[in-house]
Amino acid sequence: SANINLMIKAARKAARGLVRDFGEVENLQVSMKSAGDFVSKADMKAEEIIRQELMEGRPNYGWLGEESAEVKGADPTRRWIVDPLDGTTNFLHGMPHWAISIALEHKKEIVAGVVYDPVKDEMFVAEKGNGAWLNDRRIRVSGRRDMIEMVFATGVPFATKGDLPETLKDLGRLMPHCAGVRRWGAASLDLAYVAAGRYDGYWERSLNAWDIAAGLVLVKEAGGLQAPIEEDESILESGSVIVSNEAVHERFTKIIRNQ
């Protein structure tokens, strides 16, 4: 659709700057927002590029981005939810695992999402009702059925968020029953990898809407299931999420919820 094309265009444009900055940390004026939460000129520049591109293309939509002020749109039912650089810690440490995440929300539902990993040139795209795609290939969540063969991903947020003890307990309950758990540090890619059938499932606490909005529609359109960690919460508002293929969803959710 026209919105998807605009989102892809904005992601590619921001990616060009980020790829240039990757590996040039000395020039990026790195600072910490709170313990462990880095931000740099690269994050700011990328967000500005995406904001300009999207706001110019759809002047009446609202805006929620990690590094700039929220904008209420003339159309209150539609807004962009953007993380200009997801995986900043990896980026600043020279590790090639980070992405740009752009989502479109309509009436409180995410209707389109783009997650772009420029280093690997992987463009993950999903739109409500149109399936999920990686570059030109349709993607699906994994078809594995036995938890003991499955690989999961998680993230442990910054020290200040206080979720480390909970996540360590989750690991203790899950790890004896699966093939492995990865912790790569870019939530948008964790979700995209579940959509692509690479990870069989993923869970994490205390994220923000911009980390997960695009990834959630990818998982949904790829046939995956999603749930909040606390039963009656909203995933986007709480930022706590469980996703997986259908086969393992009930068992996985019970393990994370300690039920």
- Spatial CB neighbours of 3, under 8 Å, sequence gap ≥ 6: 58, 104, 112, 127
Query: By Cβ distance, which residue is nearest to ligand IPD?
Result: 155
Among 3, 40, 88, 244, binds ligand IPD (CB under 6 A): 88
Minimum separation from the CB atom of position 35 to Ca ion (A): 12
**Nearer to ligand IPD by C-beta: 153 or 225?**
153
Residue 186 interface partner, choices Ca ion, ligand IPD, none, CB cut-off 5-8 Å depending on type: ligand IPD
Among 83, 127, 200, 221, which residue sits at the site for ligand IPD (rule: CB under 6 A)? Answer: 83
Residues contributing to the annotated binding site for Mg(2+): 66, 83, 85-86, 211
Q: How far is the CB of 37 from Ca ion (least distance, A)?
A: 5
Q: In whole angstroms, how close is the CB of 76 to ligand IPD at the nearest point?
A: 26
| Tokens representing residue 2 in the block | 């026209």
- The answer to the question of residue 86 lying near ligand IPD (CB under 6 A) is yes
Contact 186, 128 (CB under 8 A): no
Pairing assessment for the beta strands 109-117 and 122-127 based on DSSP bridges:
antiparallel
- Residues in contact with Ca ion by the rule CB under 5 A: 66, 83, 85-86, 211
> Do the Cβ atoms of 242 and 226 come closer than 8 Å?
yes
Q: Is 240 in the site for ligand IPD (CB under 6 A)?
A: no
Closest Cα to residue 90, out of 119, 65, 66?
119
Residue 102 DSSP label: E
Closest distance between Ca ion and the C-beta of residue 209, in Å?
10
Least gap, CB of 171 to ligand IPD (angstroms): 14
- Residue 239: left (phi > 0), alpha (psi -120 to 50), or beta? left
Q: Which is nearer to ligand IPD, 58 or 167 (CB)?
A: 167
Residue 155 site contact among Ca ion, ligand IPD, none (CB < 5 to 8 Å, cut-off depends on kind): ligand IPD
Spatial neighbors of 35 by CB under 8 A, at least 6 apart, are 158, 159, 160
Report residue 234 CA to chain centroid gap: 16
Choice between 185 and 201, CB closer to ligand IPD: 185
What are the distances in angstroms from CA 70 to CA 51, 66, 82, 200, 243?
A: 11, 9, 11, 34, 28
Which of ligand IPD, Ca ion, none binds 87 (CB below 5-8 Å, type-dependent)? ligand IPD
Q: At what angle do helices 2-21 and 41-57 cross, to 10 degrees?
A: 160
| 211 touches ligand IPD by CB under 6 A | yes
Residues that bind ligand IPD (CB under 6 A): 37, 83, 86-89, 155, 157, 185-187, 207, 211
